[in-house]
Amino acid sequence: MVLQNTQVCLASSPRGAATSDNFFLRQSPVPEIDDGEVLVRNIYLSCDPYMRGRMAAGTGYAAGFPLGGPIPARVVGQIMQSRHRNFSEGDFVWDFLRWENFTRVTDVRALRRIDPSLGPISHAISVLGMPGRTAEVGMIDIAGVKAGETVFVSAASGAVGSVAGQLAKAAGARVIGSAGTDEKVRHCLENLQYDAVFNYRKEPPGEALDRLCPEGVDIYFDNVGGETLDAVLARIQPFARIPVCGMISQYDGGDYSLRNAGNVVGKRAMIRGFIIYDHMQDFDLYPPRMVARMRRGEVRYFDDIVDGIENTPAAFIGMLRGDNIGKRLVRISDDPGSPTNHPENQRR
């Protein structure tokens, strides 16, 4: 059997909402490796909101993705061939690789080994990886959540928000969430320990907050920006903290002007944008810390898995639209890595 390397490439920068025309699939040979390198068979490809920003030139915080090539993304895979003494065939690893089946890793310094005894290997790029750590940095390091506070999380069932909400709950806060479908609302209430959740497509955020937390908001974990952020700014308590790790409502061509920013003075509020890459210096301590929380039942996590590399563009576009419940991943080859299928952690 001759293996093919399917690559999902960027055809053009999206204008407005991303569409399938912005992507194309390409077949190329499986790469060969030299001494000191490894070949990874990719298993899970990550679909993250920030990638939308990097598909448009000049809009984002990092270099834009080049047109015509496979799209850079976090990937979980297995070492298929190793010519580096630190890695052996069969090791599970994750790294920033590409949306493709096989990646030749010429510089292994950033390649991290995954311990499959900790849970599903996909978790290395979801709850035990950047999305989970993003929630922790925002809710604990930046916002410093305390017992008794009122916390609001938008995109409450998402890859990051679902962890942020549960971390706040574990700290003793009262936690309100918003999500875009009734199914997500139910999921937040039944599986993610939220105290109250509303469907922002059915009820304006301001009205919902007045109903669910008339006393106002101490912490808003902002994943969306726009109208929701504005509604919160009108309802913040003194010394409110608003860690902002994304404004998904504005990535996909959205546009919104904040009317209530003046309230940050009177309420002595802090709005702080952050990017997880600035908080990587002690990243290795994070996965065991989160595993301990999960074993104590403080955090449950749900990957939202789509199968087939050819479905990656649609999986990504759907994630931007909010189709996913939990962390959106594409499984592109067999996952032998997880000791069990952890059915309670994989809804689909």
Within 129-188, which residues bind a copy of itself (CB under 8 A)? Answer: none
Residue from the set 144, 253, 273, 339 that interacts with a copy of itself by CB under 8 A: 273
SS3 24: strand
Tell me: does residue 246 bind a copy of itself (CB under 8 A): yes
Contact stretch for a copy of itself (CB under 8 A) within 1-9, 212-220, 259-267, 326-334 = 259-267
Report the candidate in 110, 117, 118, 112 with the shortest Cα–Cα distance to residue 93. Answer: 112
Tell me: does residue 257 bind a copy of itself (CB under 8 A): yes
CA 344 to chain centre: 19
| C-beta neighbour count of 255 within 10 angstroms | 7
Contact stretch for a copy of itself (CB under 8 A) within 14-22, 100-108, 255-263, 311-319 = 255-263
Handedness of CA 255, 132, 129, 188 (dihedral sign): negative
Phi and psi at residue 305, in whole multiples of 5°? -105, 130
Residue from the set 267, 300, 342, 347 that interacts with a copy of itself by CB under 8 A: 267
Contact stretch for a copy of itself (CB under 8 A) within 102-110, 156-164, 253-261, 321-329 = 253-261
CB of 266 to a copy of itself, least distance (A): 3
170 contacts 299 by C-beta, under 8 angstroms: yes
Residue from the set 188, 244, 305, 315 that interacts with a copy of itself by CB under 8 A: 244
Tell me: does residue 253 bind a copy of itself (CB under 8 A): no
CB of 254 to a copy of itself, least distance (A): 9
Indicate the residue among 73 and 248 with the shorter CB distance to a copy of itself: 248
Is 262 exposed, middle or buried, given 0-12, 13-18 or 19+ CB atoms closer than 10 A?
A: exposed
Indicate the residue among 24 and 274 with the shorter CB distance to a copy of itself: 274
Residue from the set 76, 128, 247, 299 that interacts with a copy of itself by CB under 8 A: 247
165 contacts 177 by C-beta, under 8 angstroms: yes
CA 327 to chain centre: 6
Tell me: does residue 314 bind a copy of itself (CB under 8 A): no
- In this structure, the strands spanning 150-153 and 217-221 are parallel
- Roughly how many angstroms between the first and final C-alpha of the chain, as a whole number? 31
Contact stretch for a copy of itself (CB under 8 A) within 87-95, 122-130, 262-270, 296-304 = 262-270
CA 345 to chain centre: 16
Tell me: does residue 25 bind a copy of itself (CB under 8 A): no
Tell me: does residue 261 bind a copy of itself (CB under 8 A): yes
Instruction: Say how far apart CA 44 and CA 159 lie, in whole Å.
Output: 15
Contact stretch for a copy of itself (CB under 8 A) within 16-24, 55-63, 143-151, 197-205 = 55-63
Is 107 exposed, middle or buried, given 0-12, 13-18 or 19+ CB atoms closer than 10 A?
A: exposed
Tell me: does residue 53 bind a copy of itself (CB under 8 A): yes
Is 165 exposed, middle or buried, given 0-12, 13-18 or 19+ CB atoms closer than 10 A?
A: buried
Residue that the structure tokens 């890459």 belong to: 277
Residue from the set 32, 34, 190, 278 that interacts with a copy of itself by CB under 8 A: 278
Residue from the set 67, 270, 280, 292 that interacts with a copy of itself by CB under 8 A: 270
Q: Which two tokens stand for residue 31?
A: 């790469």
Contact stretch for a copy of itself (CB under 8 A) within 109-117, 131-139, 263-271, 306-314 = 263-271
> Contact residues for a copy of itself (CB under 8 A)?
53, 59-61, 225, 229, 238, 244-247, 250, 255, 257-259, 261-275, 278
